[in-house]
Chains A and B, each alone.
Chain A
Amino acid sequence: DQQVKQNSPSLSVQEGRISILNCDYTNSMFDYFLWYKKYPAEGPTFLISISSIKDKNEDGRFTVFLNKSAKHLSLHIVPSQPGDSAVYFCPTVSGNTPLVFGKGTRLSVIA
């Protein structure tokens, strides 16, 4: 049973516009939600996180929104830049268990 779903395998956005990446989750017991960014042939790097007690967290161009009632998480990148082109994952944290990763969404920012 996949606990985290990223229903859009890919997304293309023009440079300067907003990128919106989405995740849906099934388990209400997650404590934290994280976003990771991954370039090809490299390890993922941490981008931004949000606690389950908040509904928004902002860091520069990146904002994460959490809708607990809908069990939905989104990452907004504005303005999008070509260097943002990567695969984005939204793993979740529950207690002391390892991160649960989805399949990721490939973002392509077109210049």
Chain B
Amino acid sequence: DGGITQSPKYLFRKEGQNVTLSCEQNLNHDAMYWYRQDPGQGLRLIYYSQIVNDFQKGDIAEGYSVSREKKESFPLTVTSAQKNPTAFYLCASSIDPGLYNEQFFGPGTRLTVL
């Protein structure tokens, strides 16, 4: 069964702690993406990676970090520098970063910082 998995579904952390959100895909997709959704804000791009060992900042990268050591994995770390980390985080992937870039999304992780 191919798809994108994000774990956990719900995550709680204390203010000032770093937290890493998991994203794994078995679709053999080259490109992977992280988005953040806040109420009334739509989806905003945090980071994306078009190939292993390479990634680019999106529109709201401050306070976040990523790695892409394996094709199937693109973890996102929310650092203590992120001012408003509580949000719904979505991971996505696409076959390649080419012309027709339909993205497939995971189920999301809701992060709540207490």
Q: Which residues of chain A have a CB within 8 Å of any CB of chain B?
A: 9, 31-32, 34, 41-46, 49, 89, 93, 95-99, 101-104
Contact = CB atoms under 8 A, between A and B. Distances in A.
Nearest to A101: B43
Interface of B: 4, 33, 35, 40-45, 48, 50, 58, 88, 90-92, 97-108, 110
A96 B104 contact: no
Contact of A103 (B42, B92, B105, B108): B42
B42 A89 contact: yes
Interface SS of chain A: loop
Contact of A98 (B41, B48, B108): B48
Given A98-B45, A98-B48, A104-B42, A43 B100 contact: no
Nearest to A31: B99
B6 to A, nearest CB: 8
A93 B99 contact: yes
